[in-house]
Structure 1
């Protein structure tokens, strides 16, 4: 949707929030002007609804797009609310003597709880007979601290793995990138910036390698096509002919990994 107006028009001061009325109540939609060329709507995992528009977009154009997409916004917003409630009610996956996914491997988690401890700490990482064991010490009930500690370990341990896959596929695809960042991302598995920087969600390291490879190739393809056009998908298919199956797996199983 190309919704920007003529070059000669001055930048329009847009309100920060538009309130969309629906049967379930009011949904605040946050309006953000940016250098993008098209209007895009995103519903984040924390239920924040954002519409990003090019500079010089008239307010009536923004409202028109919101009204046109109102049914889509409401349905996806309600889905995000339900998924957030499911995550809150889901049992914490970080328990003593549990197995954690790690690509094509498994990680065994040991937790020793100590009264009075205020900060979770990674005591040791052991590798034996192809098995990785993480030993953690934490205060009772410190699920957030344990989660933060484990995610840090995944990010540190997996950064080189993702970088190696990205460099290998970049050579195959004839593209280059500046840097890779592995971090917590609430709404996407990967992203590619206009400065040729690649960002990846650390939870990809939990998934089977073919799925990690799909997201890596997907983002590398954006270095050639900064869109999801037919040509973009041809770039992906040229490297991964079975990308449809990998993409389907990601869509069908992403909730299983979102709890980590």
Structure 2
């Protein structure tokens, strides 16, 4: 077991990563590396964890297989060239700012500078000053996914965390956000994998 941060621990249970924190809900997910992650409150017993994993084993198998299949197909894709990245950055610079303006008005927030980059670690970010950063590789995802990332970052202008209030705010703007979040989790690794090492 190793400390992630104060009030947050992580442990390994066979092929499942268990993250314990002060959260109230239990969330099971499969990330873009086909790793199974179970987020639970501190009080959750090992027996409860094992029961959840047993009851959701079909779901786990399905989603792990889906991500593994997507990762395998990524091996057949060529790395993005510098020219392709320039084109994606240009497309993002044209497409994303108007969507940011649209959703900022709906959410009722302001924002600062918008920056477009290509990154391996994140799809978007929001600084404490309200500056927004978006990954140009978003242009290789469905429009609904782009909107989700934009809304996600703008909601941080009201809630600079991932609390229940934050997700409630996201859901008030995009009721189906979990579908887009799942799409990124399952397919995002393939897209980012096209960046040259």
Deviation at 1:92, TM superposition (A): 4.0
Q: How does 1:47-196 map to 2 (within 5 A)?
A: 68-71=9-12, 90-93=75-78, 147-196=81-130
Query: 8 Å contact 1:192–1:222 — kept in the other structure?
Result: yes
Q: 2:179 aligns with which of 231, 245, 253?
A: 245
**Secondary structure of 1:152's aligned partner:** helix
Deviation at 1:170, TM superposition (A): 0.3
- Considering fraction of residues, name the structure with more helix: 2
Which blocks of at least 5 consecutive residues in structure 1 are unaligned?
A: 1-19, 21-28, 30-38, 42-52, 54-60, 95-145
- Considering fraction of residues, name the structure with more strand: 1
When normalised by structure 2's length, the TM-score is 0.62
**Secondary structure of 1:69's aligned partner:** strand
Residue number in structure 1 paired with 2:137: 203
The structure with higher relative contact order (CA 8 Å, sep 6+) is 2
Alignment deviations for residues 50-94 of structure 1 (CA, whole Å, 9 cap, x no partner): xxx6xxxxxxx7xx96xx42538x977xx96x99xx68x823436
Alpha-carbon distance in structure 2 between the residues aligned to 1:215 and 1:254: 12
When normalised by structure 1's length, the TM-score is 0.48
Alpha-carbon distance in structure 1 between the residues aligned to 2:185 and 2:77: 22
Which blocks of at least 5 consecutive residues in structure 2 are unaligned?
A: 18-31, 36-67
Deviation at 1:254, TM superposition (A): 1.4
Q: Which has the larger radius of gyration?
A: 1
Alpha-carbon distance in structure 1 between the residues aligned to 2:91 and 2:176: 28
Residue number in structure 2 paired with 1:214: 148
Tell me whether 1:256 sits opposite 2:190 in the alignment.
Answer: yes
Structure 1 ranges of 4+ moved more than 2 A = 68-72, 91-94
Alignment deviations for residues 5-49 of structure 1 (CA, whole Å, 9 cap, x no partner): xxxxxxxxxxxxxxx9xxxxxxxx9xxxxxxxxx8x4xxxxxxxx
Residue number in structure 1 paired with 2:62: none
| TM-align CA RMSD | 3.1
Deviation at 1:239, TM superposition (A): 0.7
Alignment deviations for residues 156-207 of structure 1 (CA, whole Å, 9 cap, x no partner): 1221210110011001111010011110121111111111111111111111
Query: 8 Å contact 1:93–1:259 — kept in the other structure?
Result: no
**Secondary structure of 2:110's aligned partner:** coil
